[in-house]
DNA sequence: GATGAATGAGGGTTCATTCAT
DNA sequence: AATGAATGAACCCTCATTCAT
């Protein structure tokens, strides 16, 4: 029998039914269902396949859902990495990131989920985190994507070289996060994102940019 | 029949069985169980009461758990507010906050949960968020607690007055968040919290403090 | 919560729903279903209770079925022991046993099942055998019932005292077995039980009876 | 398309894949699995063939397993018949049988299973029994094998001629059975097989042997 | 003939909720 | 008001069987 899927397969070589299940899972998560409450029958139904087929590819519902989430993250962060590479300066990259958050694109799909995961110590999440530390996944970790930006920015002489890399990543991460929340979390901050954006932008530059 | 509990009761006038159920819920959450996976039977068992009794006070399991979480947040943020009031300067308040995060006290009990909630769009969370917007809960919102600190800091002349309050709160919040993650999320950032702490501390002051 | 049933309860103090489930199981076994193929839903349906109720009393279907079988054995072998006590001589006891086998009463209910069990090394059966070795069950073991007969027969001077007890039990057991098969196993032996009975009767006496 | 296998094929002209499936079934039964719990996928996997192939030869899993069991019995009882023929006297044959039981060879493979079947009235077993009464199988029935021994023993003047054949077979069968149990059924009889063996041996001779 | 991916009916188990006491 | 035995809908997972290749 064919070996089971473990989530580290090449994104472009997934069996079509697996891809359809992944898409069903992602879709449902975006509709606001909790990862733990997804039903196998609904997933396979949406994927247009038989219920038992899920178990041809995965050992359990949890495996299936976890792999789907990983898949999404690899897609999104992979895309993000590539998109950021196309920007020429750190300022452009920063603008690009903020605009992505504005478009509610990134956030809905990955950033928030990543954050949600990091603040969750359920058993399911521990499994997910374990998978995220597999070698094949590491380059997709947002921390590493951000570190790449920083490094290149420093090489171009745009960013300060006297701050530990860790803190630089944290700095970018945290500001983006708060902007993300201002954009999303309707109600907790009764704030106009448009008025916060320049402050966030400037705040990051103040901390990280090399002063000429 | 007595009306049901809605989560906005005075913290000090809870029926004792309700308080015991709240404590059971909080305890289990801290043991790493997901809010959605708690079982009514376990909750009432730990509370030392009959299973049916839960339904004397709440309409559903979800209501019970949501009210317990609200209760915890009101306790913790209420306590935090009071504790911060006792500090005399903003710098002392900031140190206090960082130390709390260090102690993994705050974070485990509330901050992380709050963040977790804000990054979740499940049905359960929408209910929780709705309850959080009830008038009685508003003063406990972390944003408002932080805004109070800022306001008083500005009155004492310690903090800049030319930045929108929203951004000041965001700034504090985001830096704390990242420090929280450095302290907690073992593995994603392979960072030494001790080396990050002064940077976080200084970063916040750089952005917010009035320069003499 | 009430502790689970383990099969060693006093036969006369069973919760009524448990007794009804036992009866449903026994009935179905006698209708020719295999112990492993019984369905929980059918059992509870026949017992006139909800499906979930089975799990109030037992941890699993296997436990339920095993306890039901033990219950039947305790009932039957308990009854057999008492009935044998009422016979005055070994010859009468022997006649009684053969007649019981004739009536297809004993066999259908217990003897065959006991034999079936002893020739089965499935996991289910290993569990059943483990339960049978619990102290509370031991006096009901057919071997011990038979040994009691022998002992009393020896005390009355009817049976030989020079043969090991083990073999005496074996002797009785094996002859009964064959008679049981002649009566039951339609087809394998195309034998008239009536013609075999006196031979079995005499065979046993020849081996065991004290010759005056 | 080729007709399906029905279990009465010549043992030596089985399609090789069928033989491999039979061997897989037998092996698993000897490992302690119940006939009803064998899985088609496991059987074909062990046989080194595709799962669908089983259905090229058999209409259902039950047919496959039943035929495998019949196959084993024909092999074993055929072998037993031949082996017994090589013994010159009844006493030697008897010793041989007891020794086989001692070696846990016979019993594990056939005798116990045969007994298990005879004490079972499940649907599966009724099918098996039906197949056993097919003409081609009759000579392998243990009863008939034993009857052959008896007949030859009588012809040689070793055995009594005044007892009905049925009873003689029963007598041998039952004693062997109980010895088998003493050897196998660890725990029900806490008996040392070695001490019982001579008694069994002598008991049989006492009943069946011609007294000179 | 041979295969094994796909299927979906089936069944064991869980657990929120009810309600008679 | 408090209880906890009883319930049954819900849901995961298994596995015999089919069928396109």
Q: What is the mean pLDDT of each run of 10 residues along chain B (212 residues)?
A: 84 95 94 89 97 96 95 90 94 94 73 79 86 88 90 95 86 84 67 83 90 78
Q: Please judge whether D143 and C174 are an interchain contact, meaning their C-beta atoms are less than 8 angstroms apart.
A: no
Nearest one of D127, D2, D143 to D67, comparing CA atoms: D127
Q: DSSP assignment, residue D126?
A: H
Q: Please judge whether D120 and C116 are an interchain contact, meaning their C-beta atoms are less than 8 angstroms apart.
A: yes
Give A167 to chain B, closest Cα distance, Å: 6
User: A52 beta carbon < 7 A from strand E?
Assistant: yes
Considering only CB atoms, B119 lies closest to which of A115, A182, A200, namely A115
Confidence of residue C57 (pLDDT cuts 50, 70, 90): very high
Q: Residues 101-130 of chain D: which lie with beta carbon within 7 Å of strand E?
A: none
CA–C1' gap, B128 and E9, in angstroms: 40
User: D198 beta carbon < 7 A from strand E?
Assistant: no
Task: Note the strand E nucleotides within 7 A of protein beta carbons.
Answer: 1-20
Considering only CB atoms, A34 lies closest to which of B36, B133, B181, namely B36
Q: Which residues of chain A have pLDDT under 70?
A: 1, 105-109, 185-190
| The predicted structure's pLDDT at residue B110 | 75
Q: Please judge whether C188 and D143 are an interchain contact, meaning their C-beta atoms are less than 8 angstroms apart.
A: yes
Per DSSP, the three-state class of A83 is: helix
| The predicted structure's pLDDT at residue B164 | 85
CA–CA distance, C147 with C166 (Å, rounded to integer): 8
Sign of torsion over alpha carbons C74, D183, D181, C157? negative
* Angle made by CA atoms D96, D102, D107, in degrees to the nearest 5: 90
User: A51 beta carbon < 7 A from strand E?
Assistant: yes
CA–CA distance, D37 with D60 (Å, rounded to integer): 14
Considering only CB atoms, A112 lies closest to which of B119, B122, B166, namely B119
CA D185 to chain centre: 18
Contact flag for C and D (3+ C-beta pairs < 8 Å): yes
User: A50 beta carbon < 7 A from strand E?
Assistant: yes
> Which nucleotide in the DNA or RNA is closest to residue B53, CA to C1'?
F2
Q: Residues 35-74 of chain D: which lie with beta carbon within 7 Å of strand E?
A: 49-53, 55-57
Per DSSP, the three-state class of C209 is: strand
What tokens appear for B186 in the block? 């073992």
Longest alpha-carbon distance in chain A: 63
Q: Please judge whether D191 and C166 are an interchain contact, meaning their C-beta atoms are less than 8 angstroms apart.
A: yes
Give D147 to chain C, closest Cα distance, Å: 11
Q: How many contacts, defined by CB atoms under 8 Å, are there between A and B?
A: 124
What is the residue-averaged pLDDT of chain C? 88
Nearest one of B196, B147, B141 to B170, comparing CA atoms: B147
Q: Give pLDDT tens digits for B138-160.
A: 888 888 899 999 999 999 999 99
Q: Please judge whether B36 and A37 are an interchain contact, meaning their C-beta atoms are less than 8 angstroms apart.
A: yes
Q: At what angle do helices A165-184 and A90-102 cross, to 10 degrees?
A: 30
| The predicted structure's pLDDT at residue A166 | 83
Q: Give pLDDT tens digits for D129-184.
A: 888 888 888 888 888 899 999 999 999 999 999 988 888 888 898 888 878 877 77
* Best mutation target, B119, B138, B146, B196, to test chain A (most A CBs within 10 A): B119
CA–C1' gap, A40 and E7, in angstroms: 15
| The predicted structure's pLDDT at residue B176 | 86
Which residue places its CA closest to the C1' of nucleotide F7?
A: C50
Considering only CB atoms, B196 lies closest to which of A118, A133, A166, namely A166
Task: Note the strand F nucleotides within 7 A of protein beta carbons.
Answer: 1-20
Long-range contacts of A192-196 (CB under 8 A, 24+ apart): A193/A102, A195/B164, A195/B166, A196/B164, A196/B166, A196/B167, A196/B170
Beta bridge partners of A6: none
Residue of D nearest to C162 (CA): D199
| The predicted structure's pLDDT at residue A107 | 64
> Which nucleotide in the DNA or RNA is closest to residue D52, CA to C1'?
E3
Q: Give pLDDT tens digits for D71-108.
A: 998 998 899 999 999 999 999 999 999 998 888 766 66
Greater confidence (C208 vs A119) lies with C208
Considering only CB atoms, A36 lies closest to which of B34, B113, B185, namely B34
Give B115 to chain A, closest Cα distance, Å: 7
> Which nucleotide in the DNA or RNA is closest to residue D51, CA to C1'?
E4
Q: Give pLDDT tens digits for D172-200.
A: 988 888 788 777 765 556 677 788 889 88
Q: What is the CA radius of gyration of chain C?
A: 19
Residue of C nearest to D165 (CA): C191
Give the residue carrying structure tokens 């079982």: B39
Confidence of residue C115 (pLDDT cuts 50, 70, 90): confident
Considering only CB atoms, A143 lies closest to which of B32, B188, B200, namely B188
Give B109 to chain A, closest Cα distance, Å: 12
Which residue places its CA closest to the C1' of nucleotide F14?
A: A52
| The predicted structure's pLDDT at residue C199 | 86
- Three-class HEC string of chain B: CCCCCCCCCCHHHCCHHHHHHHHHHHHHHHCCCCHHHCCHHHHHHHHCCCHHHHHHHCCCHHHHHHHHHHHHHHHHHHHHHHHHHCCCCHHHHHHHHHHHHHCCCHHHHHHHHHHHHHCCCCHHHHHHHHHHCCHHHHHHCHHHHHHHHHHHHHHCCCECCCCCHHHHHHHHHHHHHHHHHHHHCECCECCCHHHHHHHHHHHHHHHHECCC
Residue of D nearest to C130 (CA): D187
Q: Give pLDDT tens digits for B4-36.
A: 999 899 999 999 999 999 999 999 988 878 888
CA–CA distance, D30 with B77 (Å, rounded to integer): 66
Residue of C nearest to D35 (CA): C122
> Which nucleotide in the DNA or RNA is closest to residue B55, CA to C1'?
E17
Q: How many contacts, defined by CB atoms under 8 Å, are there between C and D?
A: 123
CA–C1' gap, D54 and F19, in angstroms: 14
For residues B139-160, one letter each, b for 16 or more C-beta atoms within 10 angstroms of the residue's C-beta and e for the rest, the string is ebbbbebbbebbebbbeeebbe
Nearest one of C19, C180, C9 to C109, comparing CA atoms: C180
Show residues of chain B in contact with A206, CB under 8 Å.
Answer: 206-207
Span D42-68, mean pLDDT? 96
Q: Which domains does chain C have, with CATH numbers?
A: 16-208 (1.10.357.10)
Cβ atoms within 10 Å of B89's Cβ, excluding its own: 12
For residues D60-76, one letter each, b for 16 or more C-beta atoms within 10 angstroms of the residue's C-beta and e for the rest, the string is ebebbbbbbbbbbbbbb
Asked if residues C117 and C128 have their Cβ atoms less than 8 Å apart, the reply is yes
pLDDT at D205 over 90: yes
Q: Please judge whether B166 and A189 are an interchain contact, meaning their C-beta atoms are less than 8 angstroms apart.
A: yes
> Which nucleotide in the DNA or RNA is closest to residue A50, CA to C1'?
E7
* Best mutation target, A118, A141, A209, to test chain B (most B CBs within 10 A): A118
| The predicted structure's pLDDT at residue A120 | 79
CA–C1' gap, A58 and F14, in angstroms: 14
CA–CA distance, A180 with B120 (Å, rounded to integer): 13
Show residues of chain C in contact with D178, CB under 8 Å.
Answer: 170-171, 173-174, 177
Q: Give pLDDT tens digits for C159-195.
A: 999 888 888 888 898 888 878 877 876 555 667 778 8
Show residues of chain A in contact with B119, CB under 8 Å.
Answer: 112-113, 115-116, 119
| The predicted structure's pLDDT at residue D108 | 65
CA–CA distance, D163 with D5 (Å, rounded to integer): 41
Cβ atoms within 10 Å of C164's Cβ, excluding its own: 13
What tokens appear for D77 in the block? 């009882």
Give C84 to chain D, closest Cα distance, Å: 21
């Amino acid at each position: 029998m064919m070996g089971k899927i473990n989530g580290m397969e090449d994104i472009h070589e997934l069996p079509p039914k697996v891809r359809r299940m992944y898409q069903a899972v992602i879709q449902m998560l975006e509709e606001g269902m909790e990862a733990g409450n997804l039903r196998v029958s609904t997933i396979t139904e949406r994927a247009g396949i038989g219920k038992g087929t899920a178990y041809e590819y995965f050992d359990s519902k949890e495996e299936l859902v976890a792999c789907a989430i990983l898949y999404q993250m690899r897609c999104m962060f992979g895309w993000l990495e590539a998109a950021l590479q196309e920007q020429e300066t750190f300022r452009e990259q920063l603008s690009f990131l903020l605009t992505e958050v504005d478009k509610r694109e990134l956030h809905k799909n990955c950033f928030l989920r990543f954050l949600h995961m990091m603040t969750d110590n359920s058993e399911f999440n521990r499994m997910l985190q374990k998978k995220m530390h597999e070698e094949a996944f590491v380059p997709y970790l947002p921390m590493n994507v951000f570190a790449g930006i920083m490094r290149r920015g420093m090489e171009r002489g745009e960013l300060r070289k006297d701050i530990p890399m860790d803190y630089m990543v944290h700095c970018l991460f945290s500001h983006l996060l708060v902007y993300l929340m201002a954009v999303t979390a309707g109600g907790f901050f009764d704030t106009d994102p448009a008025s916060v954006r320049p402050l966030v932008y400037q705040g990051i530059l103040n901390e990280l940019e090399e002063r000429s």
